[in-house]
Amino acid sequence: MSDESTELLDSVETPGGAEIPVNAEIPLSKALNAGLRKALGDDKRVLLMGEDIGPLGGVFRVTEGLQAEFGSSRVFDTPLAESGIVGTAIGLAMRGYRPVCEIQFDGFIFPAFDQITTQLAKMTNRHEGQVQMPVVIRVPYGGHIGAVEHHQESPEAYFAHTPGLRVVSPSTPNDAYWMIQEAIASNDPVMFFEPKSRYWNKGPVDLSSSAVPLHSSRVVRTGTEVTLVGHGAMVTVLLQAAELAAAEGTSVEVIDLRSISPIDYSPIIESVQKTGRLVVASEAPGFVSVSSEIAATVTERAFYSLEAPVLRVAAFDAPFPPAKLETSYLPDADRVLDAVDRALAY
């Protein structure tokens, strides 16, 4: 990041220009808004583009007030054409801009899949490093909002599987504020998966410290008997499970991945070497998933530290169901605790 974007601050602006003191509790959506505002203010090459992100401020109001402040040439609405949004962003990046695209809902990203995986991800390599692609694609993803089909998907594994893309997901307002700026500062394309069910969850935004590196995982709760790993909205579920386990006398460590590609394995391996047990959880189906990759890698790197097989807790391998069935489809604290109990039983 630039010196300007990591300078020590004592407040941050929210929609309407209101200042927030250091460590104030704000929703994740507002933290993203503040991070985008900071990036727009720091670098005139930053552009925001997407469906209804201008006067409306986006479906989830993440871009609220930004067009009024920075103008319609830097924060602008696009046609309902995801392939066109990403294709335009690629052209803008080639001309020296740093575009940030919003995909309105996770399931709407697939019309842009070709542009992302065959053009955006490969452009730098195709030109032997001479062309940079500083494009961020923001994707509100995941369930727990009672929405209809195509509005509650978790497609992050498709993009983590694609060389040339960086894939990250914040779980807290503080990470949202810093990580969106780090993503925009990257010269590589970044898929930025935002857990939409956590948009309204409040937490502190620490402006008195610099950002944690974008691709670092982090221990968010220490424990000694079982390690739990997840990203995005699942981190809250894992912390809930850890609290319940503690009430039953089980000490659980929780690690927030933060980055899905690349994955920072060091804290995970160190934790497994201590606890001897690992449970990986995500909202995505478990077959050929990010959870599968973590399970395989930890088994390769820490096999002799494991006291039990690595266990996975995931959504079922079926299309996302009607909203009234989502609580049965998505992993919850009870399903995580069941995996903890099974790991301890070995």
Active site residues: 151
Q: Domain 4-204 is classified in which CATH homologous superfamily?
A: Thiamin diphosphate (ThDP)-binding fold, Pyr/PP domains (3.40.50.970)
H-run or E-run covering 193:
strand 190-195
pLDDT score at 23: 60
Average pLDDT over residues 204-214: 82
pLDDT at 5 over 60: no
Q: Please tell me the distance from the alpha carbon of residue 186 to that of residue 28, in angstroms, as a whole number.
A: 21
276-328 pLDDT, tens digit each: 999 999 999 999 999 999 999 999 999 999 999 999 999 999 999 888 899 89
pLDDT score at 12: 54
Decide: 152 and 106 in contact? Cβ < 8 Å: yes
3-state SS assignment for residue 164:
coil
pTM over 0.85, yes/no: yes
pLDDT confidence bin for 195, thresholds 50/70/90: very high
> Is the CATH number of domain 218-345 3.20.20.70?
no
Count CB-CB contacts under 10 A for residue 292.
17
pLDDT score at 6: 32
Each domain of the chain, given as residue ranges in start order, spans: 4-204, 218-345
* Mean pLDDT for all residues in the chain: 92
Q: Please tell me the distance from the alpha carbon of residue 334 to that of residue 244, in angstroms, as a whole number.
A: 9
C-alpha closest to that of 179 among 24, 45, 1: 1
Same fold across 4-204 and 218-345: yes
Q: How would you classify residue 147: left for phi > 0, otherwise alpha for psi between -120 and 50, otherwise beta? A: beta
| Residue 111 amino acid letter | P
Q: How would you classify residue 249: left for phi > 0, otherwise alpha for psi between -120 and 50, otherwise beta? A: left
Classify residue 329 as exposed, middle or buried by CB count within 10 Å of its CB (0-12, 13-18, 19+). Answer: middle
Helical ranges in the chain per DSSP H: 28-42, 66-70, 82-94, 113-114, 123-126, 156-160, 173-185, 234-247, 266-275, 290-301, 326-329, 333-345
